[in-house]
């Protein structure tokens, strides 16, 4: 019976091990190259912000604020929080640094860890990696279309084939208040069939009931009025134009009249992108977002229409591993092996390694082995032709012995000429 380890990762946290880094590297490369192509610029914002930055936009009744945000008081008495998402922090930065004075729209992207005190489960962690793409300063439906297109392109580039976009419009401050009255009336007459959280949401924000994942609430919402039938003329026109862009791009989408997203700052377009399994069931959303035209003003800036998306890097990584979508690595195989014998040679070889690195020449080695025989055996196993032998005599007299493993021929090379001579040999 093995004893339990004294220290392990905290619940909901996880390590990304060396063998899994190839997936993360591929995702980062795909996000960076796709966003660069569409003229997004990188921004990095702090992991910690004033709590109000997140709570004002998300809404006090949202799950993020009520249950999931890691918030605490500093010694100075400030109420701060670990970021549960990127959008509010990027909006704060846009306002603070006067980005509204730049040519609009401002297109930004970022990537890094976010934190939510959620119930840990498959594909959902308390510390997770996310990418965020934001376009601030443009109300055009073409921006909504481009945000969806870029998200879709990234997922396609990562090898996902059976992608599905769910989309809806949740209106704006003109048409949403009336719909809230309609939906409140519907749920009030069915209050006893709702979960305890949704009975409370009925008073605070009835639209949040549409986002509930409880089975009993799912059954009730299936017959609820649809916001798309109550959109004002402006929101209806905007949504129609977004769908026309998706049609033009030939992206596979379906209308989900009960998709609302869990944050109060969303207006008009909301969407989620899923990967469907062969059986037809969908995994959790890999990317989700929408328009947030009022958030910049809410956080103290000018009236600035905006749209964005969050891409779940941790969930994508997990799914890539599950589906065995292992990226092909183009790592350059070393053609040179450096065998060192004795402490003086090992010490001096460190500088030699640095010179090879600067010349962009990969060199294999085995610092842990002292025997020449075992090092030559390793070079032979790796099918490396050129072995540089650096022993006590070579280190003292400033030369190195080159052995051609193919012919067995050996020659001496001056230490300061080794890199240039080996460069010409491997080119041949």
Instruction: Supply the CATH number for residue 393's domain.
Output: 3.40.50.800
Beta bridge mates, 312:
130
Residues 284 and 341 in one domain: no
Q: What is the C-alpha separation between 424 and 244, in angstroms, rounded?
A: 58
Find tokens 């053609």 and name the residue.
335
Q: Cα-flanking dihedrals φ and ψ of residue 356, to 5°?
A: -65, -40
**pLDDT tens, residue by residue, 204-242:** 788 888 888 788 888 888 888 998 999 999 999 999 999
Residues 253 and 398 in one domain: no
Residues 255 and 309 in one domain: yes
| pLDDT tier, 377 (very low <50, low <70, confident <90, very high otherwise) | confident
Residue 186 lies in a domain: no
Residues 280 and 398 in one domain: no
The answer to whether residue 301 scores a pLDDT higher than 80 is: yes
Residue 236 lies in a domain: yes
Beta bridge mates, 310:
132, 288
| pLDDT tier, 142 (very low <50, low <70, confident <90, very high otherwise) | very high
Show which of 264, 287, 322 is a domain's final residue: 322
CA distances to 83, 89, 264, 399 from 56, in Å: 13, 12, 9, 68
Closest CA to 206 of 215, 55, 220: 220
Q: What is the C-alpha separation between 211 and 54, in angstroms, rounded?
A: 19
- For position 1, what pLDDT does the model report? 47
The answer to whether residue 278 scores a pLDDT higher than 70 is: no
Residue 2 lies in a domain: no
Residues 34 and 92 in one domain: yes
Per-residue DSSP letter, 328 = P
Averaged pLDDT, 139-146: 94
- The pTM assigned to this predicted structure is 0.82
Residue 428 lies in a domain: no
Averaged pLDDT, 15-28: 92
| pLDDT tier, 331 (very low <50, low <70, confident <90, very high otherwise) | low
Three-class HEC string of 216-242: HHHHHHCCCCCHHHHCCHHHHHHHHHH
- For position 332, what pLDDT does the model report? 66
H helices then E strands: how many in the chain?
15, 16
Give the tokens for residue 39.
């003229």
Residues 114 and 258 in one domain: yes
- For position 73, what pLDDT does the model report? 92
Give the tokens for residue 180.
């809230």
Show which of 298, 322, 346 is a domain's final residue: 322
| C-alpha torsion 269→106→155→122, nearest 10 | -70
| pLDDT tier, 169 (very low <50, low <70, confident <90, very high otherwise) | very high
Closest CA to 427 of 366, 360, 340: 360
CA distances to 30, 145, 228, 323, 364 from 160, in Å: 13, 20, 30, 9, 36
The answer to whether residue 103 scores a pLDDT higher than 90 is: yes
Give the tokens for residue 55.
């709570």
Neighbouring C-beta atoms of residue 226, cutoff 10 Å: 16
| pLDDT tier, 343 (very low <50, low <70, confident <90, very high otherwise) | confident
| pLDDT tier, 363 (very low <50, low <70, confident <90, very high otherwise) | confident
Residue 277 lies in a domain: yes
Averaged pLDDT, 95-114: 96
Give the tokens for residue 321.
């591993």
DSSP 144-158: HHHHHHHHHHHHHHT
| pLDDT tier, 68 (very low <50, low <70, confident <90, very high otherwise) | confident
- For position 156, what pLDDT does the model report? 93
Neighbouring C-beta atoms of residue 101, cutoff 10 Å: 8
Query: Can you say whether the dihedral through the CA atoms of 91, 31, 168, 118 is positive or negative?
Result: negative
Residues 22 and 111 in one domain: yes
Question: In a 3-state reduction of DSSP, which class is residue 249?
Answer: helix
345, 392 contact by CB (below 8 A): yes
Averaged pLDDT, 357-366: 84
Averaged pLDDT, 125-129: 90
145, 173 contact by CB (below 8 A): no
Averaged pLDDT, 159-176: 93
In a 10 Å sphere around its CB, with 0-12 CB exposed, 13-18 middle and 19+ buried, how is residue 295 labelled?
buried
| pLDDT tier, 127 (very low <50, low <70, confident <90, very high otherwise) | very high
Beta bridge mates, 134:
108, 308
Residues 258 and 138 in one domain: yes
| pLDDT tier, 165 (very low <50, low <70, confident <90, very high otherwise) | very high
Residue 6 lies in a domain: no
Per-residue DSSP letter, 315 = H
Residue 7 lies in a domain: no
CA atoms within 13 A of residue 14's CA, in its CB half-sphere: 18
Per-residue DSSP letter, 30 = H
The CATH number of the domain holding residue 101 is 3.30.930.10
| Domain span including residue 250 | 18-175+231-322
| pLDDT tier, 279 (very low <50, low <70, confident <90, very high otherwise) | low
| pLDDT tier, 124 (very low <50, low <70, confident <90, very high otherwise) | confident
Residue 29 lies in a domain: yes
Q: What is the mean pLDDT of the chain?
A: 88
How far does Cα 268 stand from its chain's mean position? 24
Residues 342 and 281 in one domain: no
Starting at the edge strand that comes first in sequence, how are the strands of the sheet with 79-82 ordered? Answer: 48-50, 79-82, 71-73
The answer to whether residue 316 scores a pLDDT higher than 50 is: yes
Residues 255 and 115 in one domain: yes
Show which of 322, 348, 368 is a domain's final residue: 322
Residues 287 and 154 in one domain: yes
Q: What is the C-alpha separation between 100 and 154, in angstroms, rounded?
A: 28
Percent of the chain at pLDDT > 90 equals 47
| C-alpha torsion 185→190→194→199, nearest 10 | 40
Residues 47 and 152 in one domain: yes
Q: What is the C-alpha separation between 221 and 225, in angstroms, rounded?
A: 8
Domain count, the chain: 2
């Amino acid at each position: 019976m093995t004893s339990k380890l004294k220290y392990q990762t905290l619940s909901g946290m996880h390590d990304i091990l060396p063998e899994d880094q190839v997936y993360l590297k591929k995702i980062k490369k795909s996000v960076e190259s796709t966003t660069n192509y569409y003229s997004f610029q990188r921004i990095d914002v702090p992991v910690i912000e004033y709590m109000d930055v997140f709570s004002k936009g998300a809404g006090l009744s949202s799950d993020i604020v009520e249950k999931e945000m890691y918030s605490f008081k500093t010694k100075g008495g400030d109420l701060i929080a670990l970021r549960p998402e990127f959008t509010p922090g990027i909006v704060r930065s846009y306002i603070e640094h006067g980005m509204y004075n730049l040519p609009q729209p401002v297109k930004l992207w970022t990537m890094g860890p976010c934190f939510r005190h959620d119930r840990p489960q498959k594909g959902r962690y308390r510390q997770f990696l996310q990418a965020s793409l934001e376009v601030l300063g443009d109300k055009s439906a073409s921006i909504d279309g481009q945000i969806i297109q870029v998200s879709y392109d990234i997922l396609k580039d990562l090898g996902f084939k059976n992608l599905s976009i769910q989309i809806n419009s949740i209106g704006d401050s003109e048409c949403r208040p009336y719909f809230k009255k309609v939906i409140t009336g519907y749920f009030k007459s069915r209050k006893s069939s709702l979960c305890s959280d949704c009975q409370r949401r009925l008073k605070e924000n009835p639209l949040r009931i549409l986002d509930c994942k409880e089975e009993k609430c799912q059954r009730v919402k299936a017959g609820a009025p649809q916001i798309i039938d109550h959109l004002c003329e402006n929101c209806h026109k905007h949504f129609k134009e977004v769908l026309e862009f998706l049609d033009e791009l030939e992206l596979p989408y379906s209308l989900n009249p009960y998709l609302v997203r869990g944050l109060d700052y969303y207006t008009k377009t909301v969407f989620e992108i899923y990967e469907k399994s062969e059986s037809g069931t969908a995994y959790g959303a890999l990317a989700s977002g929408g328009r947030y035209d009022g958030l910049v003003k809410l956080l103290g800036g000018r009236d600035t229409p905006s749209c964005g998306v969050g891409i779940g890097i941790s969930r994508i990584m997990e799914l890539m591993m599950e589906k065995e979508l292992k990226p092909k690595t183009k790592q350059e195989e070393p053609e040179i092996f450096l065998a060192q014998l004795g402490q003086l040679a090992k010490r001096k070889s460190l500088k030699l390694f640095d010179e090879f690195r600067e010349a962009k020449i990969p060199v294999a080695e085995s610092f842990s082995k002292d025997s020449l025989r075992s090092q030559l055996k390793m070079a032979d196993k790796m099918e490396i032709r050129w072995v540089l032998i650096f022993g006590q005599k070579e280190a003292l007299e400033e030369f190195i012995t080159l052995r051609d493993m193919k012919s067995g021929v050996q020659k001496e090379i001056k230490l300061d000429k080794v890199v240039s001579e080996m460069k010409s040999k491997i080119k041949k």
